[in-house]
Amino acid sequence: MAEVHVIGQIMGATGFSESSLLCKWGVHTGPGFVSPWAAWKLLSGVREGQTQVDTPQIGDMAYWSHPIDLHFATKGLQGWPRLHLQVWSQDSFGRCQLAGYGFCHVPSSPGTHQLDCPTWRPLGSWREQLARAFVGGGPQLLHGDAIYSGADRYRLHTTSGGTVHLELSLLLRHFDRYGVEC
Amino acid sequence: MAAAAPSVFLLMVNGQVESAQFPEYDDLYCKYCFVYGQDWAPTAGLEEGISQITSKSQDARRALVWNFPIDVTFKSTNPYGWPQIVLSVYGPDVFGNDVVRGYGAVHVPLSPGRHKKTIPMFVPESTSKLQKFTSWFMGRRPEYTDPKVVAQGEGREGKGSPPWAGWAW
C-alpha cells in the first residue's frame, strides 16, 4: 500500500469581521468511484478536531497553531484527501455563530506548502440577514458534505467570509510501486 | 505482501530560539521542550531548556534577543508523531510574580535545510470577568500544568474551562 503523511498546522485566520474565532476541521477521503481497491485507510492520527477559541490582541489574525498529523494508506489516487473547515465565532455569552465554511485539497507533491483557504457562508433571506446582524444566528448547512462536494451547490446563495491559513507538509511513500511518480 | 522490516532514520535538529517580539512585556525568558509520538526517541542532545532573561533593546527594533541554542537528534521508524517544539515564555508582572506570557508550538521542519519559523504565542484566558480580575490581582494566571498540551490537537475545544489548565500555586 502506498502511504501518505500529512503533517502541519492550521495556523490561523484573517479577514473575518468577527473576532473570537474557532475552527472545526475534518478530513474527507474518497472513494472517487466506488471500488474496494481505492479505499483510503487512516492508519494514525485523528480525522477531525476543533481548535481553541482565539481572540486577536495584536493585529487582525486569529492564531490557532492547531497541529495536524495524519498517516493514510491507499492503493489509488482517487479520493485524494480534502480538508474541510468550519469557522465559528463565539460571543461573550458563549454562543457560537457561523463565520464561514471552506475546504481545500491536501497537496499532492511532497514538501511544505502554505495554503490559503477562502470561506463562505449561506446568506439567507433579508429577514435572516437582519436577524443575524442584531440577534446572531443565521442559516447553516444541514449536511456538511456541501462544503467539499460540488453537487447541489447551485441551490445556495452565499457571501464570503475570511481566509484560513494552513501550512501542510507531505511525505509520500511507495507510490512508485503503483506507477505514480512523485 | 511481506511487511518491510522497520527502518530507522535519524532527524538532527540544530538551531536557536533567536528572538521575540512582545510589544507589551519585557524581561522575558523562554523554555523549550519537544513533543513527539510513540515511535520517536531522542538519541543525543538536550530535549528541554530554559533560556536567560532578556530585556528589550533600546533601539527602534525593541527586540528581545535570546540566541538560545537548540541541539537535538531524534531517531524513529515512522513519520507519524513528527516532533514539535513547544515554547513557553515567562516574565514578571506588575507585582513581581513570574507569569506566563505566551505558549506556542510548531512542527520541526520536514525538509532538510535552513528554515526560519515565526511562532505566534497565545495565553489561556479565563471566561469569567471576576476570575480575570482575581488572577491579575493575585498574580496567579491560568497556566497549563504541562505545557506539552499545547502541541496536541485533542481537547482544545471549550477553551474557557479547559480540562488541563491548572493554577500554579
Q: What is the pLDDT along chain A (182 residues), one digit of tens a residue?
A: 899 999 999 999 999 988 899 999 999 987 655 556 557 889 999 999 999 999 887 778 999 999 999 999 988 888 889 999 999 999 888 889 999 999 999 999 999 999 999 999 998 889 999 998 888 888 999 888 888 887 778 888 889 999 999 999 999 999 888 888 77
Cα dist from A172 to A71, A74, A133, whole Å: 10, 11, 46
Grid cell at residue B118:
515565526
**What pLDDT is attached to residue B81?**
94
The 10s digit of each residue's pLDDT in B75-92 is 999 999 999 999 999 999
The 10s digit of each residue's pLDDT in B15-39 is 999 999 888 888 999 999 999 999 9
Grid cell at residue A157:
446563495
Query: Which pTM was predicted?
Result: 0.82
Share of chain B above pLDDT 90, in %: 46
- B156, B161, B164: best to mutate for the A interface, most A CBs within 10 A: B156
Predicted ipTM > 0.85: no
B82 vs A50, A53, A69: nearest CB? A69
Give the separation between CA A42 and CA A44, rounded to whole angstroms: 6
Give the separation between CA A23 and CA A153, rounded to whole angstroms: 22
B111 vs A9, A49, A111: nearest CB? A111
Among residues B166, B17, B164, the alpha carbon closest in space to that of B100 is found at B166
What is the least distance, in Å, from the CA of B80 to any CA of chain A?
A: 6
Grid cell at residue A91:
460571543
Interface contact B84-A111, CB threshold 8 A: no
**What pLDDT is attached to residue B58?**
82
Degrees, nearest 5: CA angle A91-A96-A98? 115
**What pLDDT is attached to residue B139?**
67
A169 CB neighbours in chain B (<8 A) are 107, 109-111
Interface contact A52-B106, CB threshold 8 A: no
What is the least distance, in Å, from the CA of B104 to any CA of chain A?
A: 7
